[in-house]
Amino acid sequence: METGVRRIIVAFAILLAVIGSATVGFAILGHGTWSLEEAVYFALITVSTVGYGEMHDLDTIRGARVLTGFLIVFGSGALVYFQSNITATLVEGRLGHALRRKRMFNKIKALRGHVLVAGVGSTGKHVVEELFTISKPFVAIDSDLEKLERVNREICGGSMLFVHGDATQDQTLVDCNIAYASGVIAALPTDRENLYVTLSARSLNPKTRIVAKVIEAEAARKMVIAGANATVSPNIIGGQRLASELVRPEVMQFLDQMLRDKDRNLRLEELPIPADSSFAGLSLRKAPIRSSANVLVIAVRDAQGTFLYNPGPDFELTAGSVLIVLGETPEVRKLRELVRNSSQTAMAEPPPRYTRV
């Protein structure tokens, strides 16, 4: 749209230049025969091809009709160029917007396991940045189209999928393909709005994980009752961060650099061990973790929910346990696929042959 506006401005400037040049030319050739108003008016009616009639004494002044001929040719071209740019901008703007919306809608309908981010304000835009950094598919929702487009442009480089609408409405969530979403983040400005999003999301997808932002402390319990799996209070986290910056600044600097390093993209991630994974029953020493992916196992949560920090090499992995690892996103993704597909790979291997003796 901005390119179209620039084209219109350029075309209008060309048209004005042609009309202005013709006006000056008539004034010079006429030597006072025609007033400035008459010269401008004649240039306008000539360019527009209306042609109410020639100015008086036009046939007696040498070169006047030659200038008029040039004005007809170049002026008509400049006018057509100006009109075509206006039409193209209007058509491309509306048609292009409709086509973009259609393509985006089709992409959203094809998503599986994505995340819905309700609200891209002061909190939601950071959610979008993190999901975009770790390449997690998501759909952003906001009632402010300008805000959506700004976040899309500044954070996602124009590749963000979004829906312009009210996230508290069921139809908006349906448009975001919530039936196949793996998670919903309610990051709207007020607790009431986030409560509505939580209720709607839970009714539309009973299995999805919902994380809701809360402002007031008493709202956390209501969010959980409404169906949220977890709540996050920016006020509490902000207070903890302030204290941590004071008493452990180096740790906070390490975490900040870890999250903001665009080259290495280090993240703390979780890797569940499925029941049919070949990793189940193996010790950390024997599991092909470091040999397959450059990640560091920081902790393990067993099936009962107990965390063991800095597990030793002889710690045995069990089905249902979760590895907490630190590594670059591509390496973590590689290990995740290995854990998920290890049982399928093992089953695909041919059985060993035995020789009767």
Per residue in 42-64, pLDDT (tens digit) is 787 777 776 656 666 666 676 66
Q: Which residues contact 311 (CB under 8 A, 6 or more apart)?
A: 284, 297, 299, 300
Residue 44 contacts residue 19 (beta carbons within 8 Å): yes
Distance CA 214, CA 84 (A): 52
Burial class (CB in 10 A: 0-12, 13-18, 19+), 22: buried
Q: What is the mean pLDDT of residues 180-191?
A: 96
Residues 89 and 127 grouped into a single domain? no
Tell me the pairing of strands 230-232 and 266-272: unpaired
Residues 120 and 175 grouped into a single domain? yes
**% of the chain at pLDDT higher than 70:** 84
Domain's final residue, options 78, 105, 132 = 105
Written as six digits, the tokens of 45 are: 């009616």
- Is 257 among the domain residues? no
- Is 246 among the domain residues? no
pLDDT at residue 347, rounded to an integer: 35
- Is 275 among the domain residues? yes
How many structural domains compose the chain?
Answer: 3
Q: Which residue has the higher pLDDT, 328 or 154?
A: 154
pLDDT at residue 121, rounded to an integer: 93
Strands (E), 119-245: 138-142, 161-164, 183-186, 209-213, 230-232
- pLDDT of 188 > 60? The answer is yes
- Is 244 among the domain residues? no
Residues of the domain holding 334: 264-348
- Is 168 among the domain residues? yes
Residues 61 and 122 grouped into a single domain? no
Residue 115 contacts residue 136 (beta carbons within 8 Å): yes
Distance CA 141, CA 119 (A): 6
pLDDT at residue 348, rounded to an integer: 37
Domain's final residue, options 105, 128, 159 = 105
Tell me the pairing of strands 138-142 and 115-118: parallel
Please give the helix or strand (H or E) that residue 117 lies within, else none.
strand 115-118
Residues 98 and 117 grouped into a single domain? no
Per residue in 192-214, pLDDT (tens digit) is 999 999 999 999 999 999 999 99
- pLDDT of 259 > 60? The answer is yes
Residues 168 and 150 grouped into a single domain? yes
pLDDT at residue 355, rounded to an integer: 33
- Is 10 among the domain residues? yes
- Is 224 among the domain residues? yes
Residues 192 and 154 grouped into a single domain? yes
- Is 259 among the domain residues? no
